[in-house]
Amino acid sequence: MGQKGGRDAFVSQGFDTWNKKDAFRTHVGGVDSFHNKAKEKLLLKTGLTFRGYDESVNSENRGLYIEVLKAIRETSEDIFNNTLENAPKNNQLISPKIQKEPVQCFAQEVLLSIREEIGQNVFALLVDESSDVSKNEQMAIVLRYVDSLGFVKERFIGLVHVKDTSSLTLKNAINEIREQGYDGASNMRGEFNGLKALILQENDMDFYVHCFAHQLQLVVVAVTKKHDGVSDFFEQIALVVNVVCASCRRKTYYESKQEKGCKKACVVVNLKPKEG
């Protein structure tokens, strides 16, 4: 099919040239091939979740990977007879490791496009640490730069697992950077042992910028603590949020009350007589 790619090796003829990379490139095809178009439109454009939480045979939704495969096999008898339950048990190509390989390829393509967009221009590296639902400590990395059209862009490029959030650990996880933007925590901006200080010891051309959003947050917190009325207000708001969000029933009840209040306010506004 020209540069469109594809062949019958995997469904009828068999494939025995695993050591020849060119065979895979031929199978994938050119830039306009079905493989590359599917990769661009199916995942990168829509941001769909690639894998599901329950991929068992009896699951109603086995994840995008298997569900798409199930849809494709319905269009071809050869594919149907050689995939999923009809394939050899050790050759179904649906293991988590195999499913992650295309995801890793997509990630590399996204990073490559970001690097090409930055080119030789300067960029900033935004770093912060957080923990996931499994209580694993990780470091989020974002690139901030100006593209060729003059627009400021921020692109999330990944999460790096770290054993702790000490400045030395974070420093070892960062290699080559040109600008730093952290919050004001001591492990970040510390003059002697902070992440900023450790990096400046090796890269004296870098400079540190205290995150403006974090600065604003600190100012707001400081102002509210000086004003009893405002401080009490936010304290009560925090208590209400904690109480309501701790129960699904209370949350639903509050939403229904809020909806009725909004409808009543709209009716009052509509019935208000016009001046004059």
**pLDDT tens track for 49-89:** 666 667 777 777 777 788 888 888 888 888 888 888 888 77
- pLDDT value for 217: 80
- pLDDT value for 276: 47
- pLDDT value for 200: 75
Low-confidence ranges of the chain (pLDDT < 50): 176, 276
Strand locations in 147-234, DSSP E?
Answer: 152-161, 180-182, 208-210
Q: Regarding beta strands 180-182 and 124-131, do their DSSP bridges make them parallel or antiparallel, or are they unpaired?
A: parallel
- pLDDT value for 95: 79
- Reported for 154-159, long-range contacts at CB under 8 A and 24+ positions apart, including other chains, are 154/126, 155/114, 157/111, 157/114, 158/107, 158/111
Q: How far is CA 225 from CA 168, 220, 230, 232, in A?
A: 33, 9, 8, 9
